[in-house]
Chains A and B, each alone.
Chain A
């Protein structure tokens, strides 16, 4: 009655799942698309780029030397010459604030890198090998966990004071080490937990069935799949470390004058806040905005990477 037109013969698998796009798209690329369109992410990213520029090239934002302080300008409010006014010592607050970004960003970024490397590696190894290694790493982490983060950092920094050295990197390194020392257990725990999950996945068994060596399995299969929550946590932690640096400097155990840090400025401004609030205002605002930018970005990344929402 009817002959099937051979052109109607259906090939077995003409296309991949329709709607998935014609270009290859990894899960990371999907997340990236989401992030690109999120207005909050764009704002945070802009703020962070601005801060990075401030930290690396303060000269782009101000030509005033932050160390050049004229007592005759003490506590003057914002004006055409000094957009943020002058502090107790007569230093240009705007210039100090711009230069202060370097300390905060440096500590934040370096601590995060340190924590991610140490916590990440130990966590992954503990999770993957289990047994005695897991026990050792977990118990050591527990010990560090038990010590309150800031308290531990303060103790370490007061035990090894930096003195009034004029260098920048020595006190910064000390702060970074102190923060890393007490910050790595959280990250190790997260990495360990995701490694435990990934370790059980079928594709890891498949790789072993192919004869893959353990380093290969860790590098190619475990790490890329376990690292997601670490990225989220690290971004948020960065904000936390910036805040921690300011706190430590405020307390006098972190950076000290003549180094410039928002924490130091906040500390000196605190005494005169009633009479000259503008001295406190600007460093506080900058600090808050910085911390907020990182935390919001971390939140947005977490939502974008969340597989449940795909």
Chain B
């Protein structure tokens, strides 16, 4: 219990030199399965600053969740193994830290919320108990005190009648309320970084809007960094400052939100944007991305996207993995023909 108290409340959120809060550098994660070696993360690098929202966009199999799990240190090992790279939190490579130090960081300095609150919350403990646990474990608070703080947190995430509901169990809350409980747990200790893994995918759209509003407000108040992992291009457009698009375990494009939607520089991003139906338009043809998502145990040679790419040419797409080329401030693309894509030459 005492190991956690050192990290408790006193730290500076604002990075004075503008250095990133979290820096992921060339991360590699593999899964050893009976079907073979699944390369879930293949050299992923991104960073988040305090007060910033980075959206990590990708479909299933892109490796976006696995990366987050590796950052938090909650990867299922075995079968998952971090086989390379570094994760720097405030300059310190946390992959090299002993497990107790990582555990102290978890919850207090960096927190994570998940898609399905019902399975992330323990059904046999009250909501107040679970939120209070953060205070008891990391700050050595008494039960009475931690319960009071739990009510405070529930108020902060706008759960009505917090004082009565603190003694309720998770199943007595609706989906949206449960998600708020999870958010309350995660921000209880004022973490510098919050990772949200598909936090609203399982929620109705009106509830989703409420929860996203809440996250934005909490971020504004506390200045924490937020990594939002999702596949929803609409949610990303609403809240992200910067976006990293992932495909088959690699980052294929990074950009500011406006740039990405207006001028994509990677064929996958471009195709994705063209394939989603929009609320405000009808009758336009939605472009189709042919083929299938990649199998992680048998990745295509060269660029993983080449079997489905309109811009593909056998040389070099099938033979050379395109590096993430940074061509502007905050802009990068991992495509041999990024200039063509950017210029909009339609193929």
Q: Do chains A and B touch in the complex (CB under 8 A)?
A: yes
Q: Which residues of A contact B (CB under 8 A)?
A: 1-2, 4, 8, 10-14, 17-19, 309
Residue B7, interface by CB 8 Å: no
Q: How far is the CA of A1 from the CA of B311 in the complex (A)?
A: 12
Q: How far is the CA of A25 from the CA of B58 in the complex (A)?
A: 31
A-B contacts, CB under 8 A, total: 29
Known contacts A8-B312, A10-B308; decide if A1 and B345 are in contact (CB<8 Å). yes
Choice from A4, A8, A13 contacting B292 with Cβ under 8 Å? A13
Contact A12 B290 (CB under 8 A): yes
Q: How far is the CA of A13 from the CA of B36 in the complex (A)?
A: 24
Residues of A within 8 A of B20 (CB): none
**What 1/0 flags go to B12-52 for Cβ under 8 Å of A?**
00000000000000000000001110000000000000000
Known contacts A10-B290, A11-B290, A14-B291; decide if A19 and B298 are in contact (CB<8 Å). yes
Residue B295, interface by CB 8 Å: yes
**Residue in chain A with minimal CB distance to B288:** A12
Q: Shortest CB–CB separation between residue B278 and chain A, in angstroms?
A: 23
Q: How far is the CA of A18 from the CA of B35 in the complex (A)?
A: 12
Known contacts A18-B298, A19-B298, A309-B34; decide if A1 and B340 are in contact (CB<8 Å). yes
Within 8 A of A (CB), among B266-303: 288, 290-292, 295, 297-298
Q: How far is the CA of A13 from the CA of B297 in the complex (A)?
A: 19
**Residue in chain B with minimal CB distance to A15:** B292
**What 1/0 flags go to B318-340 for Cβ under 8 Å of A?**
00000000000000000000001
Q: Shortest CB–CB separation between residue A169 and chain B, in angstroms?
A: 47
A and B contact pairs by CB, cutoff 8 A, 9 listed: A1-B345, A4-B310, A10-B290, A12-B290, A17-B295, A18-B295, A19-B35, A19-B36, A19-B298
Residue B223, interface by CB 8 Å: no
Residues of B within 8 A of A13 (CB): 291-292
Q: How far is the CA of A308 from the CA of B308 in the complex (A)?
A: 31
Q: How far is the CA of A19 from the CA of B296 in the complex (A)?
A: 10
Residue B307, interface by CB 8 Å: yes
Q: Shortest CB–CB separation between residue B64 and chain A, in angstroms?
A: 21
Q: How far is the CA of A19 from the CA of B34 in the complex (A)?
A: 12
A-B pairs, 7 with minimum CB distance: A10-B290, A18-B295, A19-B298, A10-B291, A4-B347, A12-B290, A19-B295
Residues of B within 8 A of A11 (CB): 290
Residues of A within 8 A of B340 (CB): 1-2
Q: How far is the CA of A8 from the CA of B345 in the complex (A)?
A: 18
Contact B297 A19 (CB under 8 A): yes
Residues of A within 8 A of B292 (CB): 13, 17
Extra 13 A-B pairs, beta carbons < 8 Å, given A10-B307, A10-B308, A19-B297: A1-B340, A2-B340, A2-B347, A4-B347, A10-B291, A12-B288, A12-B291, A13-B292, A17-B295, A19-B35, A19-B295, A19-B298, A309-B34
**What 1/0 flags go to B67-101 for Cβ under 8 Å of A?**
00000000000000000000000000000000000
**Residue in chain A with minimal CB distance to B294:** A18
Q: How far is the CA of A4 from the CA of B312 in the complex (A)?
A: 8
Q: Shortest CB–CB separation between residue A148 and chain B, in angstroms?
A: 34
